Amino acid sequence: MKSLRKTEMKYQTVDEILRDTQGLLIQNHDSRKDPGCTELPAPILFELANPMARFSCNADNKKFVADSVAESLYLVSGMNGTDFIYPFRQERGLTENVKKYEKALGTELRFQGQKSENVLDYRKSNSLRQRSIGFTDQLARTVEILKSRKDYGTVIQFSSIENPLIVHYAWFRVNYGRLDMLISAGDVDDFTELYSYIIAPFTFLQQIISELTNIPMGSARFMIGHLYSSSLTHPKFLRSLKIPIINTHDFQYPESGLTLRDVDTLISIMVEFVERLDENSLNRANPFDGDDRVQLWQDYAEVFRAWKAEQLNYKVKMEQNFYHPQLRFIYRGETV
């Protein structure tokens, strides 16, 4: 069995991560053992130096950007129903894998201790949160701990013996005044899951916690116990695409001053906006437009608008405004 050339790697972009993990999988592929087995023989640890650089800038993969944004909201909302997330997974042919995520990570994040058989679509999750009885909101507790003791670390627990999940835990630690994150995960498909289910949603969670605690974001590390792939793309081909590196080092959204209750309200507004998008409403106003505190949410609403327009083979007539440098490149071709 081939050994891993690297076990810990630091990256500036998601595209570099996807390129190198595919390369490691190809390097360690042993067709004599099992022609269909493509996996790493040991755990892998890598770091995304700037969690804001969470989007793939491959111009052909806009739908993956929408998937990652949807999965991010799905995680932070606490939902485990398929009403919101199903169209995104269906488009990628992942409906058979929905069962793998029925025990959604978000319910452990926001409703730890609730009965597992409860199906929480976004309306039910809002109602349950308003009652605030019979569960632990680990996100709220993490924010409280970090606000009261900025020299302290805290762990959000997802998986247990009774409730095995793809992600084991998220560890947040203030290091030299910045909020670092470490995610521990088990079986992860590099092709269909690493980007949309792991990297993008958890860096979004890191950003939310950073905003709610006023602690600047540090780096994001990911420890994957078993990385495998259902489909391989050779790194030489990925390099040939010449995916640009968009500078995000100095970018940050304006301070929002929001509370966690505000975030939950924004998620509800976003889900309703997405539900009502159709051929007759593609040009409807962005519900977050005009308020600097919610520029992040305005960006994500425009991602959803572009996703729906592409589904319908429409072109959105009104000019879309993006703030995030990677999104400005992906959707408008701007490299500034």
- Taking only the tens place, the pLDDT of each residue in 227-275 is 998 887 776 776 777 888 888 888 999 999 999 999 999 999 999 999 9
Distance of CA 328 to the CA centre of its chain: 18
What is the reported pLDDT for 279?
Answer: 87
What is the reported pLDDT for 103?
Answer: 56
- Taking only the tens place, the pLDDT of each residue in 2-17 is 444 445 689 999 999 9
Exposed (0-12), middle (13-18) or buried (19+): which is 113, by Cβ within 10 Å? exposed
CA distance linking residue 303 with residue 320, whole number of Å: 9
CA distance linking residue 55 with residue 71, whole number of Å: 13
Kindly report the number of other CB atoms within 10 A of residue 322's CB atom: 19
The CA-atom distances, in angstroms, between 147 and each of 103, 124, 141, 194, 216 are 30, 29, 10, 30, 12
The CA-atom distances, in angstroms, between 21 and each of 15, 190, 272 are 10, 7, 36
Q: In what order do the strands lie in the sheet with 167-175?
A: 8-11, 44-48, 217-228, 178-189, 167-175, 153-157
CA distance linking residue 258 with residue 280, whole number of Å: 32
CATH of domain 8-240: 3.30.572.10
**For helices 260-275 and 200-213, what crossing angle results, to 10°?**
140
Q: How many residues does the chain have?
A: 336
β-strands 44-48, 167-175: how paired?
unpaired
Is residue 179 within 8 A of residue 146, CB to CB? The reply is yes
Buried b (16+ CB within 10 A) or exposed e, 13-38: bbbbbbbbbbbbbeebbeeeeeeeeb
Which regions of the chain are under pLDDT 70? 1-8, 29-37, 91-103, 116-117, 150, 235, 238, 316-320, 336
| Residue in 308, 291, 298 with CA at minimum distance from that of residue 257 | 291
What is the reported pLDDT for 294?
Answer: 97
